[in-house]
Structure 1
C-alpha cells in the first residue's frame, strides 16, 4: 500500500533547491534580495522576519521559516554595513548617565545589539544641546551603523541628528523629536489621563509640578495634565517652578514644593509631579516641613509621580506613580533599527515607526 503525501498549502510551498546529483537550477540565495525572491515575498517583509518576527502574521512567519530551513540562508547585517562603509557599532546618546531610567534603557539596547552582532557605544549629552551635537559628530566620525537617542531637542543637537538621519537609521526614544522620525516612547496623554483619573477618584484633584524645559517631555506632560484635568471638569493648577533649566529634578522638586508649602494651603491637597525625581524632592520638602504625606485620613498631602523610577518603591512613603516598560521601549526601538539596517532604509520614518506605548498606574502609599 502506497501512502499519499499530504500537500502543503500553496502559501507554504517554496521553490525547491537542487538535491545531490541533480542538475543545478539556481544557486542558493546569499543576499536578502535573493532570499526574498526565493520566498516570493518583498524584501522588507523578509527583513522584518529576522528583526521583528512578531510583527508578521503566523502564516508569513511559517513560510519564511520553511524557506530558511530549505535554503540555509542567514542574513549578514555586518557584511551589508561593510558594503555601505559602516562599522558594526550602534551609537546610543542619552542626556543623563546617572538616571536609572536611561541606565536600564541602555543596558537593554546593549544586550539586543550584542545578540545581533553589534557593539553599542554610549555617549552622554549631559543635558547640554552643544554636547549633544558634539556626540552626534563623534558617532559620525566612527561610521556607526545606526543610533538610538533620547534627544534634548533644539537647533544644535536636533539639527545634527536630522542631517545624519539621511545617511543612517536613527530611532528616538523617551522624548519625541520636533520633526517626524522613528520614535518609541510612552503615550503621555494616555498615561497622565490614567493618573489624573486615579487621583480624582480617590481624593482631591491634583495640582501639577512640571519639569524644567529640558526636552520635549516637559511641554508634552504639562499639556497632557491640562487635557486630563479639563476632561474631568477641573481647572488645571500649576505650582510655580524655580528658575532652572537643568536635570537636577530632585532639587527643583524640593525648592518648588518647599516654597508652596511655606505659602500655606497644603491641607488635603494633592500634587502630581511630571516625573518621579521631582516627586522625591517634593517628599523631602514635605518631610522637612513636618507635613504628613500619604493617602490615610490622618495625612495632610498626597504626592504622585510618573515613570516608576527604580527607587520609587523605596521612597518614604512609597511613591504612587505611572509605570513605563523600559525593556519594551528598548526592544521596540532596536527592532526598528535592525529592520532598517537590513532594509538599508535610513530615511525618516513613516507612521508605522511611531510607537506610543501604554502605561499603568502603580498605587502605593503616597497617594
Structure 2
C-alpha cells in the first residue's frame, strides 16, 4: 500500500503540517526536524501526489501546443523551445500536429482544454476561432504563434516579419541584376505564404509578373511543371524566391542543375554545404517558440495586460545561390 503523509508524520514523530512544510519546501521547520522527516520519507518510499497537489492549486502544470507538422524542422525548433521554457516553469507540454486541417486544429485545442491545460500555444490552420471564445472567457490563456487568429479574437500573437523577409530576398536578387524573379509559394490561404507573396510583389513593383508566381502546397511534380512553364516564356525568370524550407528543397530537385539564382525563406540543414550554398532568409523558430512560451507563462502567472502582438525580425544569409548574376537560364 502506498505510504501517505500521515505515515511519514507518525514515523518521524511530528505533526502532519510539519511534513507538509518539508515536502513543499516551506519555511518554519528547524533543520534537525526537517532531516528527520526526510529520513522517514526515504525509508517509507513516500512520494507526494502531484495530481492532487496541482488540482488543489487550480492548475495541472501542463500546456497545450498545436503545430502544423512535428516532422517539419521549423516546428521541431519551435516545439523544443516551448518545452525548454515549460520545463523551467515545472510544466509539461502536450503537443499535436494539425496537418493544416482546421477541424483537426479545433479537435486538438478542445481536447487539451478538456484535459485542463493551464494555457495554449496555437499555430492556426483555420481562420475561424470562435470555438475558442468559451475557453478564453473561462480563463484559459492562449498565444497564437507564426500566424494570427481569425477575425474577432484579440489574443497574444508572436509572428516573424514575413513581408519584410520577402522584400530582403527580392532586394538581394535585384542587387545582382535580376529583374525576372519567380516566386514559388505555399497555399495562398496560409497567412505566412500570403504575407511573403505580398512582400515579393511590393519589392518588385512594376516588375511583378503574375506568370512568374506559383502558389500551392509543396510537391515535386507541381513545382517542376510550373518551373518548366515559366522557363518556356519569351522572357523567362533568371532567379527564384521560394516561400519556405520545404519549397526550397523541392525547387532544388526540380531545377535539376539549371543555373538560376535562388533565395529561400527559412534556413535548412546542409544549405551551406551545397555548391553554391543556398542563400536564405532566416527566421528564428527557437526565438518564436521561446517568446510565445514566455508570454504564455506570464499570463498563467496572472498578467492581465492587453493582448501583445510581437513581430520578430528575420535576416538575410548570403551563401552564393542568390549572388549568381542575371543571365538567361541555361547559359554560363
User: What SS does the corresponding residue of 1:304 show, helix, strand or coil?
Assistant: strand
Q: 1:267 to 1:221 in 2, by over 3 A?
A: closer
2:95 pairs with one of 103, 119, 122: 122
Structure 1 residue 134 displacement after superposition: 0.8
CA–CA separation in structure 2 for the residues paired with 1:100 and 1:207: 25
Equivalent residue number for residue 190 of structure 2: 215
Q: 1:268 to 1:224 in 2, by over 3 A?
A: closer
CA–CA separation in structure 2 for the residues paired with 1:229 and 1:162: 40
Post-superposition CA distance 1:131-151 (Å, at most 9, x none): 111111210111000111111
Residues 1:159 and 2:134 aligned together: no
Equivalent residue number for residue 5 of structure 2: none
Q: 1:265 to 1:315 in 2, by over 3 A?
A: farther
Residues 1:132 and 2:105 aligned together: yes
Equivalent residue number for residue 257 of structure 1: 227
Equivalent residue number for residue 240 of structure 2: 271
Structure 1 residue 203 displacement after superposition: 2.2
CA–CA separation in structure 2 for the residues paired with 1:269 and 1:213: 23
User: What SS does the corresponding residue of 1:93 show, helix, strand or coil?
Assistant: strand
Equivalent residue number for residue 201 of structure 1: 175
CA–CA separation in structure 1 for the residues paired with 2:109 and 2:228: 39
The answer to whether the 8 Å contact 2:182/2:237 transfers is no
Q: TM-score, normalised by structure 1?
A: 0.66
Aligned residues: 268
Structure 1 residue 210 displacement after superposition: 2.1
Q: 1:91 to 1:251 in 2, by over 3 A?
A: farther
CA–CA separation in structure 2 for the residues paired with 1:253 and 1:80: 54
Q: 1:215 to 1:259 in 2, by over 3 A?
A: same
The answer to whether the 8 Å contact 2:183/2:214 transfers is no
Post-superposition CA distance 1:227-251 (Å, at most 9, x none): 2222xx5335453537x5x4x4556
Q: 1:315 to 1:98 in 2, by over 3 A?
A: farther
Pairing of 1:319-334 with structure 2 (within 5 A): 319-334=278-293
User: What SS does the corresponding residue of 1:212 show, helix, strand or coil?
Assistant: coil
CA–CA separation in structure 2 for the residues paired with 1:110 and 1:210: 30
Q: 1:274 to 1:268 in 2, by over 3 A?
A: closer
Post-superposition CA distance 1:132-184 (Å, at most 9, x none): 111112101110001111111233xx333344333311111112222332111
Equivalent residue number for residue 169 of structure 1: 141
Equivalent residue number for residue 268 of structure 2: 309
- Gaps of at least 5 residues in structure 2 are 1-50, 323-332
CA–CA separation in structure 2 for the residues paired with 1:182 and 1:249: 33
1:362 pairs with one of 298, 317, 322: 317
- Gaps of at least 5 residues in structure 1 are 1-77, 293-300
The answer to whether the 8 Å contact 1:254/1:278 transfers is no
